[in-house]
Amino acid sequence: MTIPISTYNDFQGLSQLKSAASAGSPEATREAARQFEALFVQMMLKSMRDANAVLGEQHDTTYQEMFDKQIAMEMTQGKGLGLGDLMVRQLAGGAGGTPQVSGSFAMPARPPASVNLTMNRDDFRPESREAFIQEIWPLAVQAGEKLGVNPRAIVAQAALETGWGQRQIRDDAGVSGNNLFGIKADKSWSGQRVTVSTLEFEDGLPKPQRAQFRAYPNLQAGFEDYVRFLQTNPRYSDALQSGGNAQVYAERLQSAGYATDPRYAEKISDIIASPILGNGDTPLKTDGEVPNYL
């Protein structure tokens, strides 16, 4: 039995799907589970759109809703997101059981962790060094004003930590953690985490390690946490008293133990001095040479 795909585009089709699953046909059960999964994805996308709309302009969402429905259909084809298998077991009452369909279908308590984290984060993918600077410059200016730090030093540090956005901290699905400053997730961190391989210097020598890093829904949240991280850690107080001197800021960050790389401050200073960051308030004046370790 094949249920028309349009049935999961609204809640009125739920009763039809439950009735089909109750018939006991494995094909019908699988199709019902797939369409419930698609409905779940569509609901999740709509919730994200609604949340963003609070901060954005109101506009006609007709075409956006059509696009979300198409995305939901595409994402749940084949093996889907893994929710379908859970639903099949519930609809079929477990292995060899009879269908269990109540008046209101019980969705799994939460989607797989990798799906949940990925669907709630922006994926920052700058195409060039110029695009990287243009995207984060306003955020660096805001952070610099709060910290009393030259924004060019903040951009340079982010460039060093991420290779101008090309070597970001990403999860297993390849989605950016929006953590441009390599802030690790310790026991006090209650937000999202991404575990990646990294190099830490011990006795001046780089050693590969696996570490957990903080992950943020977007770049704005990442910069805001960077500000909090520095302001709430007393060991960085000297760095925040650098008087806007970018080189001094970098040196004091290293002295405070921000990174284990013995050349951390030197590398940041080299990027600050590179032509691509320009001078004054306009960071992007010319595409010049940058240090080759990036």
CB atoms within 10 A of CB 102: 8
Which residues have a Cβ under 8 Å from the Cβ of 6 and sit 6 or more positions away? 13
Contact 197, 175 (CB under 8 A): no
Taking residue 277's Cβ as centre, other Cβ atoms within 10 Å add up to: 25
Catalytic residue among 74, 172, 200, 287: 200
CA–CA separation, 73 vs 201, rounded Å?
47
Using the structure block, give the residue that is written with the tokens 């391989």: 197
Please name the amino acid found at residue 52.
Answer: N
CB 160 within 8 A of CB 167: no
d(Cα 207, Cα 279) in Å, to the nearest integer?
A: 36
- Cβ neighbours around 254 below 10 Å, total: 20
Alpha-carbon gap, residue 136 to 26, rounded angstroms: 51
225 is catalytic: yes
Measured CA to CA, the distance from residue 118 to residue 151 in angstroms comes to 29
Amino acid at 169: I
Query: Which listed residue (225, 251, 261, 270) is catalytic?
Result: 225
What is the chain's length? 294
Q: What is the DSSP letter of 256?
A: T
Catalytic residue numbers, as ranges: 200, 225
